[in-house]
Amino acid sequence: MKVLIAGGGTGGHIYPAVAVAEALKRRFGDDVELLFVGAEGKMEMEKVPALGYRIVGLPIAGLQRRLDWHNLLVPFKVLRSLRMARRTIRDFGADVVVGFGGYASAPVLWAAQRMEVPTVIQEQNSYAGVTNKILARGARCICTAYEGMERFFPADRIVLTGNPLRGRFSKEGADRAEALKYYGLRDDLPVVLVVGGSLGTRSLNEMMKHWILETGGTAPVQVIWQTGKYYEREMQAFLAAHPAAHVWQGAFIERMDYAYAAADVVVSRSGAGTVSELCLVGKPVIFVPSPNVAEDHQTKNARALESKGAALLVPDAVCREEGMRRAVELLGDPARGDEPPHRGAGASRRRGAHRRADCRAAARRSKVKRKKCLQTGYEIRKRLFSRNRRHRHERPGALFPPRRPPGRRI
């Protein structure tokens, strides 16, 4: 059996695809042949070969969200990618094509469906993207991670599978002592994991910079800080200028199983892969959804967990000041006799539920006050307008003076 796997761009697309490849190899051994298809210049062209799989790159690219002359080349790159996708499917002799999202997924699935090769779509998010909604019309099967996806896809072809995770993730997790040793951390201080995705995120990096400057780098909290490759040099320079005790910093975390095992609280973006990993390992988490993703799907992912009391949500706009403060609050304060630092997910969910209840009550009070203010303002304006209508011809200084009769201006 020959399986062609298309997708990439970010770790959220790459690692579910790798997880499926590993599962196929475990089940079928040498009876299955795998080929990945990615986008030239993207991280899958580096990560996938490092894991021992073959990959073909397409010259596909997306539109820039600003005026850029490179956008003029996009149609030509799409046409060339479609031709290369058809040739790759034919030369490889694919029996099935599986799409995991990303730039490379669309032309490969589109070509496979027109060549009558069976296709499977894996939708990681709770809100489907436009491309997957279009390609789902010709797919044999759509594997989803969330319930209620019938509003996007044909109900008879949906299979609720959850998001694929690599074999190293499990409910038991890695050994904590081994994980702490791997990152060079102590076992007598709590650990916060800050992870912003494989490419990094400006907001979470600025949050860490603000927290280090605010605490002077001496807070009794250890941090595993993933900066992302786009911000690696900038954050290394900052940490060199402002040394902080108990902070591990890296562009990319190869052993996420160790990172989760060491962490007591996680501050993270809410990409689909990260959400699934955190559901499995059961760590208290504060989500900071990215506002720069299609259809705002990260906020929808985070809301799906927050509505179940399984996570807290901090908007991106306020995470610089609020993110680490909320994380440290979740850790508790042993000096006050609160819960110990390593207290687990249940207590954090209870505390988070109390905070959300307080916020809802405050919002209700604020809504009532606002309604009263609006009503009072409306009554004042109504009285002024009525009084002015009665007296506008008698009072030259009225709020609404009478209109001048038409005629020559003096």
Residue 276: predicted pLDDT: 85
Residue ranges of the domains in the chain?
2-160, 176-343
The DSSP secondary-structure symbol of 94 reads: -
Q: Do domains 2-160 and 176-343 have the same CATH topology?
A: yes
Average pLDDT of the residues in 210-237:
92
Identify the bridge partners of residue 286 per DSSP, sorted by sequence position. Answer: 267, 312
- φ, ψ for residue 131, nearest 5 deg: -60, -45
Whose tokens are 């496979």? That residue is 112
Which superfamily does 2-160 belong to? Glycogen Phosphorylase B; (3.40.50.2000)
Residue 273: predicted pLDDT: 81
Structure confidence by residue, pLDDT tens digits, 83-110 = 999 999 999 999 999 999 888 899 999 9
Residue 396: predicted pLDDT: 44
Average pLDDT of the residues in 367-386:
45
More confident residue, 87 or 349: 87
Q: Is the pLDDT of residue 247 over 50?
A: yes
- pTM for the model: 0.64
CATH 3.40.50.2000 fits 176-343, yes or no: yes
What is the band of 352 on the pLDDT scale with cuts at 50, 70, 90? very low
Mark residue 309 as left, alpha or beta (left: phi above 0; alpha: psi -120 to 50; beta: remaining).
left
Please provide the DSSP assignment of 386-400 as one string.
Answer: HHHHHHTTT-TT-SS
Cβ neighbours of 377 (radius 10 Å)? 10
Structure confidence by residue, pLDDT tens digits, 49-64 = 998 999 999 998 766 6
Whose tokens are 């019309």? That residue is 137
Average pLDDT of the residues in 348-361:
45
Nearest to 113 by CA among 81, 139, 131: 139
Residue 388: predicted pLDDT: 46
Structure confidence by residue, pLDDT tens digits, 144-180 = 988 889 999 999 999 999 888 876 666 666 789 999 9
More confident residue, 255 or 170: 255
